[in-house]
Structure 1
Amino acid sequence: MRIPATVGLARILKAEGVEWVTTFPVCYVNNALAEEGLSLLMMRDERYAVAVADAYSRLTGGKRIGVCTVMGGLNPAGFQMAYGALAQAYEDSSPLLCITDGLPEGMAGQIRYPLAAGLRTVAKWVGTITAPEEVPSVMRQAFTHLRTGRPGPVLVTMPRGLGEYDPEARPYKPVCGWRFSPAPEDIAAAVQALRSAKRPLLYVGEGIFYADAVGELAQFAELAQIPVLTTLKGKSAFPEDHPLSVGVRGEAAIHFLQTSDLILAIGTSLSLGHFRHTIPEAHQKTIIHCTVDPADLNRTYRTDIALLGDAKLCLQALIREAMAQGGIPRREGVTREIADAKEAMFARYRPLMVSEERPINPYRVYGDLLKTLDRRASLVSPDSGNPRDQTSTVFEALIPRGYVGWGNVSTLGFSLAVAVAGKLAFPERQCLNITGDAGIGYMFSNFEALVRYNLGVTTVYINNGG
């Protein structure tokens, strides 16, 4: 039995575990998605349609893919409005799927805005469906890119009126994704370097979440007794009340970066950015770099040992090899040094967090949040700017994705999208976003969508003069 191309696409999304799609305001495929039982979450602008899908993919570590649709084709105003959000997802390596209308046959090069060229600048991969029979193969490639290698947004275009195809002649099987391990000789060399190091440091990024390697990270850190510093996007991958946690930023982070003689970077590109640490005196340190993307190697810093592969498989291999080589020598006084460095840092902030001064200062708000929230049953995301800078220092995350850091290309207002996606991904959690005067202006219209869909999230708005 032949089916319309749009129906085939909808059924493929359902086969891949997609339950809902964010959108605004229209897209050719939307009617078929709804008719096939997919929920359409109508946000109040295209940017938020992308942002909620983006955040959902991040929060689930790419195990469940966020999907959005926006208007394209001959009138690509929707895609143009979505461009900033897609650029952020691309910069942050978030594996969302965006579907938009394609150009009718023969119209390429006939319009002023080059849709295909615009798509490629903010996507890991672009799939163009030009005939109904191509739906299964293009979608198969799309989900392969979404679930394999470095994460990133994938865009699929499909023009109106494509016609029908036979799904029995072109069956679709869900894509599992593929992972690969670092070379054994590189693992052995990394363990030998760790055994020889005097002051090693683990520097951990968001790749830990996508590899589902939180447990392996804790096991390896405890086995080797190595301090753990995370990137902003990697925050909460390691419990920040753990004796080996250095946190994300502040004096403790700077101290251990400066005094380390070896850095084992896992799940981070080590690229430079507005909210990323630089490695001081990097040429005097041994740098071991675990990444799924060879483009990261030797880009920002010299890579002494490359562990090219999945973070989970890498950590499992490091644990096995460390035990085979007789373990990694424990360094006396490491946890005491971490505790002293963190205490010196928090001593500066603690008075502000209990201050009775008026007007109230932001740190007092964060201090009260720490007392009020159950950090083992909640999700907090700050907006870019002051809320992010301040909370990433003093708000200690206790569970994976209990705090969601984000953004190198940081679009204001994204924190509300994270809270919304958090409620969709973890309905049992209390989901909260923190914003200031600038960020709140980007959110107002989308509060209406939260009321319409009965999504209970909390927004903390700080009057910070932004």
Structure 2
Amino acid sequence: MNGYDVMARVLQAEGVEFLAAFPHQTLIDAAAKIGIRPIICRQERAGVNIADGFSRVSNGRNFGVFTMQQGPGSENAFAGVAQAYADSVPMLHLPGGERLPRLGINPTFDAVTTYTPITKWAARIHRIQDIPTLMRTAITRMRSGNPGPVLLEMPVDVMTQDFPEEDFSYYPVQHHLSMASPKDIEGVVGALLDAKEPVIVAGQGILYAQATPELIEFAELTNTPVMTTLAGKSAFPEDHALSLGTGGHSCTPAVSHFLGQMDFGLGVGTSFTRNTFTTPMPDGVVLAQVTNCPEDIGKDYEVAYAAVGDAKLVLRQMIEEVKNHLGDEGAPDNRDVVGRLATLQQKFQEDWNSRFNSEEVPISPYRVFQEIKAACGTSNTIITHDSGYPRDQLVPTWNTNTPRGYLGWGKSTQLGYGMGLAIGAKLAAPQKTVVNVMGDAAFGMGGMDLETAVREEIPIITVVLNNGVMTKYDSHMPTATTRYASNALGGNYAQVAEGLGAHAERVETPNDLSSAFQRSLDANREGKPALVEVVTKVEEVVPG
């Protein structure tokens, strides 16, 4: 055995079934020899995105891996890892490395130094016998506490050394969880029960902890409305009577209203980060935070109460504490939360119905979303947005009722990210319909990896909203737009997709949307990816 064989055996022991990859990287063939399937992407960032999507939909129980060559391959992958780090996604990054004597000699690329700011942990293999130990460390760091990407660089001179097969020993890493201090639980629950207008803010920690049932029980027991963060969207069913929907860069009217009335906010599985793409907490409101990452407590907002532990375990503790105070029946709806919320939701539907059912040409993107929902449903669908207006339009108007039925992302907002994310999601949940909604600018960034989905027979649906411009960028560069049309884009993306081997259609009138999506689903059933390009209007109005 050599180092690549050892690494492949470790990955196999951890249950890894595929590698997202771009050659030249010897690990690809070493893994293939023992049955680990390589998914060769068209560009390294997309390969990272594939691993990212797989980890998200698997909630980190199974994790995505990306590997590539040293130097340019590692350089090209940087943006994808930066996005995964911003969104706290557990994934393993295995770049090749130059020979150890070359370290520090310009222009040798040092992945460990370069990636340290955007990974939870980054290290280099110096001795072949250290591979099992370093991999256990990497996977432990990746999964423990607040999850995130980790990196282990594989220098070629180390990896080509001999490793006695009889010396190989590896056991999979166990995931260890903890409860919170009972005193902290008393403080958090007591403050919530004393509040007049509490709101639960549920983040993606609920999803990674698989704590949706506990969150539902706690919300019902305390009669507290729930908003989800952008990354946490789908952690709480949005057809539930206590659901406010999602707050991100855009948000539902219910989120806006209830945050305006809120006197106590309980964040569960959220970092409470101030960011352009997160709905801010109101000034002066008392906050409590349940997190598995102590470093997040009070980092951006003053937090009066906190409990550190796994979201599922801590919610179970809080449920028992509420029952100690109120009994098994919990709190009555004395504040008419359900009634007020139902009124807001009904008004939202009435106010936006003309957009949802618009007959406009070019087509309203909101009509596109309604037709996707009618064709695909929501219970067996995973949908994700891309950066920009597709995100801001889709997040508040797509109601999902299944954990991971929506992949929300965006503390970093890289165009084209959704394509690889959708491919990874389909690998994690092949029984699901997976839909990626992106704009024409995003397709220009990541569209070529549609060919990866075709070649690997990963049947996803990509919907390109083609309005021919970078929406609202005329306000960022008014002179360049007026004088040089710098915000204008062009192309027939259905023709591109057809050339890449996908089922492809271009839709220009709203009445053709339904049949186009049905044919795309038919193509998916035959193992073929589909792309529907929709010629849409420039739509700058978003909810919230």
Question: Contact 1:213/1:312 (CA < 8 Å) preserved in 2?
Answer: yes
Counterpart of 1:293 in structure 2: which amino acid?
Answer: C
Determine whether 1:95 maps to 2:90.
yes
Q: Return the alpha-carbon distance in structure 2 between the equivalents of residues 280 and 346 of structure 1.
A: 26
Note the C-alpha offset of 1:320: 1.0
- What is residue 183 of structure 1 aligned with on the other side? 181
Residue number in structure 1 paired with 2:73 = 78
> Helix, strand or coil for the counterpart of 1:325?
helix
Give, in angstroms, the shift of residue 313 of structure 1.
0.9
Picking from 100, 107, 131, the partner of 2:127 is 131
- Is 1:317 the equivalent of 2:314? no
Matches within 5 A, 1:261-276: 261-276=263-278
Q: Is 2:414 aligned against 1:411? A: yes
The alignment covers a number of residue pairs equal to: 459
1:306-351 CA-to-partner distances (Å, cap 9, x unmatched) read 1111111110100111112224533321101111122222322211
Q: How far apart, CA to CA, are the structure 1 residues paired with 2:419 and 2:408? A: 13
| C-alpha contact 1:202 1:227 (8 A) present in aligned 2 | yes
Q: Are residue 240 (structure 1) and residue 270 (structure 2) matched? A: no
Q: Does structure 2 retain, via aligned residues, the 8 Å contact 1:101–1:157?
A: yes
Q: State the one-letter code of the partner of 1:387.
A: P
Structure 1: runs of 5 or more not aligned: none
Q: Tell which deviates more after alignment, 170-179 or 306-315.
A: 170-179
Whether the aligned pair in 2 keeps the contact of 1:228 and 1:245 (CA below 8 Å) is yes
1:386-408 deviations in Å (ceiling 9; x for gaps) = 11100111110121111111111
Deviation at 1:288, TM superposition (A): 0.8
TM-score after normalising by structure 1: 0.96
The alpha carbon displacement at 1:180 in A equals 1.5
Q: In structure 2, what is the equivalent of residue 302 of structure 1?
A: 302
Once the two structures are superposed, the pairs formed by residues 37-436 of structure 1 within 5 Å of their partners are: 37-72=35-70, 76-112=71-107, 113-162=109-158, 163-166=161-164, 168-169=166-167, 171-248=169-246, 249-281=251-283, 283=284, 285-327=285-327, 328-332=330-334, 333-436=336-439
Structure 2 distance, partners of 1:55, 1:166, is 36
SS at match of 2:26: coil
Alpha-carbon distance between aligned partners in 1 of 2:245 and 2:385, rounded to the nearest angstrom: 16
Partners of 1:200 and 1:264 within 8 A in 2 = yes
1 CA distance for matches of 2:302 and 2:171?
42
**Deviation string for 1:219-273 (max 9, x for gaps)?**
1111111100000111111110110000011221011111111111011100111
Asked if structure 2 preserves the Cα contact closer than 8 Å seen for 1:265 and 1:287, the reply is yes
Match of 1:391, as an amino acid? L
Once the two structures are TM-superposed, the CA of residue 170 in structure 1 deviates from its matched residue by 5.0
In 1, Cα distance between the equivalents of 2:24 and 2:119? Answer: 21
**Aligned mates of 2:261, 2:117 — CA distance in 1:** 39
**How many Å separate the matches in 2 of 1:165 and 1:272?**
48
Residues 208 and 312 of structure 1 are in contact (CA less than 8 Å); yes or no, is this contact kept in structure 2? yes
Structure 1 distance, partners of 2:18, 2:418, is: 20
2:117 aligned partner, one-letter code? T
Map of 1:450 onto structure 2:
453
Alignment check: 8 A CA contact 1:212 1:312 kept: yes
> 1:145 is aligned with what amino acid?
R
8 Å contact from structure 2 (residues 56, 425) kept in 1: no
CA distance in 2, matches of 1:335, 1:97: 43
Deviates more, 1:76-85 or 1:339-348: 339-348
Q: Give the whole-Å Cα distance in 2 for the aligned partners of 1:351 and 1:186.
A: 48
CA RMSD, Structure 1 to Structure 2 (Å): 1.3
Aligned-residue offset at 1:200: 0.9
2:218 and 2:257 map into 1 onto residues whose CA distance is: 22
Measure the CA separation in 1 of the matches of 2:60 and 2:6. 23
Range with greater deviation from structure 2 (161-170 or 242-251): 161-170
| 1:195-233: CA deviation from partner (whole Å, max 9, x where unpaired) | 211111100001111111111111111111110000011
Per-residue CA deviation, residues 20-60 of structure 1 (Å, 9 max, x unaligned), is 00011322322211122211000100001111001111111
C-alpha distance in structure 1 between counterparts of 2:190 and 2:42, whole Å: 54
Identity of aligned pairs, percent? 36
Q: Distance in 2 between matches of 1:20 and 1:114?
A: 26
Does structure 1 retain, via aligned residues, the 8 Å contact 2:54–2:424? Answer: yes
Q: CA deviation at 1:101?
A: 1.2
Q: CA deviation at 1:168?
A: 4.3
User: Counterpart of 2:500?
Assistant: none
Contact 1:23 1:41 in 2 (8 A): yes
Aligned partners of 2:168 and 2:366: how far apart in 1? 58
TM-score, length-scaled by structure 2: 0.82
Task: Map Cα deviations across residues 335-373 of structure 1 (whole Å, 9 max, x no partner).
Answer: 011111222223222111111121111111112122222
Write the distance in 1 (CA, Å) between the matches of 2:261 and 2:25: 54
Q: Is the 8 A contact 2:181 2:307 kept in 1?
A: yes
**Distance between the aligned counterparts of 1:177 and 1:167, measured in 2?**
27
Distance 1:47 1:243 in 2: 40
Amino acid aligned to 1:188: E
- Amino acid across the alignment from 1:149: G
User: Does the 8 A contact of 1:346 with 1:394 survive in 2?
Assistant: no
One-letter identity of the residue aligned with 1:48? A
Partners of 1:26 and 1:347 lie apart in 2 by 56
Read off the aligned partner of 1:87 and give its amino acid letter: A
- 3-state DSSP class of the match of 1:165? coil
